[in-house]
Amino acid sequence: MTPRVPESNCEHRDDAAAYVLGALEHDEHERFREHLAGCAQCRAEVAELQPVVDELPASVPATTAPKEMRARIIATARSEAELLGAAGIGADRPAKAARPWYRRNDFVLGVAAAASAGVAALVAVLIAVGGSSHMKTVPGEGIGAARTAEVSLTRRDGHSELIVRRMPQPALGRIYEVWLKRGAAEPRPTNALFSVTNGGNGAVDVPNLHGVREVLVTSEPAGGSLHPTTAPVIRVALGSA
């Protein structure tokens, strides 16, 4: 079923699809991540689109690409790089009036078409032949007032992001804070604070997870706390990161 995303007039909303696909340039990716911290609409967009992308690699059996295919892909990439180098910097960028291929409406329809046509297999092959990006999604659980929430922690290339759906909004004057628990030690606070949209969607970057056994979320006074003041409403068990 096609995800439903709240209406928005944010001019950056169309970049959400490219963000979850990893199609943004490095500087664009960083700018959009900074934008997400202050835009609930774009965070909701990312939360709606991410599960679609997460399901692509799992939609076909894993396979190892023939060496000949790897060689053809590398040769094609090098050939295109040489052409772009001869044409000059920026030659591959579309005119501003053009609508990029990854804009949301085209993205959703394209993913649906790809699934029916088997294009997802090509995505899996490209990953198998040497793509450096590795993504893992760890499910979490909502607790107490957030027991109906859908929770996942996405980890890719050293970057971790907590994504929630159907999460109750924090009370007036409060915000959700992320805590990291290592071993038997008490949970440590982070600077990861977030709220959610009216529909309960939200996302937040999570700091270094090395050695972390659990990621927890509590409701805290606006600005965050140094020690938890309420019981956790979200828990993601990592074992040993």
- Among the residue ranges 17-31, 60-74, 223-237, the one predicted with the least confidence is 60-74
Q: Are residues 129 and 144 in the same domain?
A: no
Q: What is the pTM of this model?
A: 0.48
User: In this predicted model, which residue has the larger pLDDT, 165 or 27?
Assistant: 165
Looking at 133, 155, 188, the residue that finishes a domain is: 133
SS3 165: strand
> For residues 58 and 51, is the Cβ–Cβ distance under 8 A?
no
Position 87 pLDDT exceeds 80: no
User: In this predicted model, which residue has the larger pLDDT, 28 or 191?
Assistant: 191
Position 220 pLDDT exceeds 50: yes
Q: Select from 46, 18, 21 the least CA-distant residue to 123.
A: 21
Please state the domain count of the chain.
2
pLDDT range class, residue 7, cuts 50, 70, 90: very low
Residues in the chain: 241
Q: Are residues 121 and 194 in the same domain?
A: no
Q: Are residues 139 and 201 in the same domain?
A: yes
At 139-194, the pLDDT tens digits run: 999 999 999 999 999 988 778 999 999 999 999 999 999 999 998 889 999 999 99
Q: Are residues 129 and 139 in the same domain?
A: no
Position 30 pLDDT exceeds 60: yes
Position 56 pLDDT exceeds 60: yes
The range of the structural domain enclosing residue 4 comes to: 1-133
> For residues 15 and 32, is the Cβ–Cβ distance under 8 A?
yes
Q: Are residues 10 and 103 in the same domain?
A: yes
User: In this predicted model, which residue has the larger pLDDT, 90 or 237?
Assistant: 237
Looking at 85, 109, 133, the residue that finishes a domain is: 133
pLDDT range class, residue 127, cuts 50, 70, 90: very low
- Among the residue ranges 1-5, 113-117, 140-144, 180-184, the one predicted with the least confidence is 1-5
Percent of the chain with pLDDT over 70: 62
What pLDDT score does 239 carry?
74
Looking at 102, 133, 164, the residue that finishes a domain is: 133
Q: How far apart are CA 134 and CA 81, in angstroms?
A: 24
At 190-212, the pLDDT tens digits run: 999 999 998 899 999 998 888 89
Computed over every residue of the chain, the mean pLDDT equals: 76
What pLDDT score does 44 carry?
83
What pLDDT score does 110 carry?
57
Q: Are residues 15 and 94 in the same domain?
A: yes
Across residues 96-103, what is the average pLDDT?
Answer: 49
Q: Are residues 82 and 117 in the same domain?
A: yes
Position 112 pLDDT exceeds 70: no
Can you give the CATH number for the domain in which 217 is found?
2.60.40
Q: How far apart are CA 229 and CA 222, in angstroms?
A: 12
Position 128 pLDDT exceeds 50: no
Q: Are residues 71 and 176 in the same domain?
A: no
Can you give the CATH number for the domain in which 11 is found?
1.10.10.1320
Q: Select from 6, 35, 4, 1 the least CA-distant residue to 18.
A: 35
Q: Are residues 77 and 177 in the same domain?
A: no
Position 100 pLDDT exceeds 60: no
